[in-house]
Homo-oligomer: A and B are copies of this chain.
């Protein structure tokens, strides 16, 4: 039942070291030998023992994904994107949700990377922005790739993937302004997250360019949740009855805003336009469907994983195929429309 490298070696009548060379794609193995070995591997359905490889070679063939649970779709797309790369590379994925709030978070992470002898780590926001985490990983000499909200990748940079939320927000805002909106509210996500700041900055830049005065009372602090969307939408509508549009920091907040509008009997988009971010399945399942800025988390995840693998191998050459800056695209649906001249 259990097939070891020795069995393969016997069947192929070579040494175990040669088998090892073949399964690791090491050079200087004659084609004929390699073929013999491959046939034996297939024949016996040999699976190298991960633990033994890890122990002997100190490569764990396992990478980790660390996240502080933003929303379910985000996390799942991330996982799936990374897993699809792992599959082709023969790696396994260990997931590690952790709470930003937790004081021991860094210690816990450290324990995890040391225990499992992870080959590398993909960090998603907001953990990817945490310098304590980064320092710890540098200390421990762990490879990592960070997914960050930011405008552009330094071409030298070998450990970051950027999502240009600034530009995305700028586009969303511009679109609304073109539709005639002048009083556009901004419902923030978590204050600590860089994506919130980037999106806010994009929104402000768009207003300024269009000569619209920035009204701080239209900018509400909140968090990336449905209920934050409900609350903040309610209060901004109550306080400013000239608001004609809302930019929500993600689709969940936007869905909350939609809910609030419904509660207050406000017609979307006739009386109020609402837009989100992320293009999560969510945004297609609300009524009306959400205008949003689309980012393919799964694609981003794949590129992050590829970058991680190329780092692990110490390859710089193949990096060129890897996209390091993603700019979300505006997807116009039914939750936004022309401003009502009233």
A residues sitting closer than 8 Å to B (CB atoms) are 1, 47-52, 54-55, 60, 69, 72-73, 75-76, 79-80, 83, 92-95, 97, 111-112, 114-117, 140-141, 226, 255-256, 258-259, 262, 281, 284-285, 287
Q: How many copies does the complex hold?
A: 2
> In angstroms, how far is the closest chain B Cβ from the Cβ of A104?
12
Min CB–CB distance A232 → chain B (angstroms): 15
A95 touches B117 (CB 8 A): no
Label chain A's interface by main secondary structure: helix
Q: How far is the CA of A231 from the CA of B335 in the complex (A)?
A: 22
Tell me the nearest residue of chain B to A84, going by C-beta: B97
Which chain B residue shows the least CB distance to A113? B47
**Contact partner, A76, options B47, B52, B72, B262, Cβ 8 Å:** B72
Structural contact, A285 and B255, CB atoms closer than 8 A:
yes
CA distance A47 to B69 in the complex (A): 26
Q: How far is the CB of A108 from the nearest CB of chain B, in Å?
A: 9
Bound form: Cα–Cα A112–B287 in Å: 42
Smallest beta-carbon distance A195→chain B, Å: 20
Is A116 a contact of B50 with CB atoms below 8 Å? yes
Known contacts A50-B115, A93-B95, A117-B50; is-contact A226 B75 (Cβ 8 Å): no
Chain B residues contacting A50 (CB-CB under 8 Å) are 51, 54, 115-117
CB-nearest residue of chain B to A83: B97
For A114, list chain B residues within 8 Å (CB).
Answer: 47
> Which 4 residue pairs across A and B have the least CB separation, nearest first?
A51-B54, A72-B72, A47-B114, A51-B55
Return chain B residues, CB-CB under 8 Å to A95. Answer: 79, 83, 93, 95
* Other contacts beyond A51-B117, A259-B287: 5, CB < 8 A: A47-B111, A50-B115, A51-B52, A76-B76, A93-B94
Q: Is the CB of B47 within 8 A of A51?
A: no
A115 touches which of B48, B94, B226, B281 (Cβ 8 Å): B48
In the bound complex, what is the Cα–Cα distance between A97 and B82 (angstroms)? 12
In whole angstroms, what is the CA distance A47 to B83 when docked? Answer: 27
Q: Are A262 and B287 in contact (CB under 8 A)?
A: yes
Instruction: Determine how close the nearest CB of chain B comes to the CB of A263; give it in whole angstroms.
Output: 8
Residues of B with C-beta under 8 A to A285: 226, 255-256, 259
A76 to B94, CA, bound (A): 14
Q: How far is the CA of A256 from the CA of B285 in the complex (A)?
A: 7
A31 CB to closest chain B CB (Å) equals 25
Complex interface: chain B residues within 8 A of A287 (CB) = 258-259, 262, 287
Residues of B close to A80: CB separation below 8 A: 97
In the bound complex, CA of A17 to CA of B188 (Å):
56
Which of these, B55, B117, B256, B258, contacts A55 with CB under 8 Å? B55
Residues in B whose Cβ lies below 8 Å from that of A259: 285, 287
- Could you jot down 27 A-B contacts, CB within 8 Å? A1-B140, A1-B141, A47-B115, A48-B115, A49-B55, A49-B115, A50-B51, A50-B117, A51-B51, A51-B52, A51-B60, A52-B55, A72-B75, A75-B76, A79-B95, A80-B97, A83-B97, A92-B94, A92-B116, A95-B95, A226-B281, A226-B284, A256-B285, A258-B287, A259-B285, A262-B287, A287-B287
Q: Which residues of B contact A226 (CB under 8 A)?
A: 281, 284-285
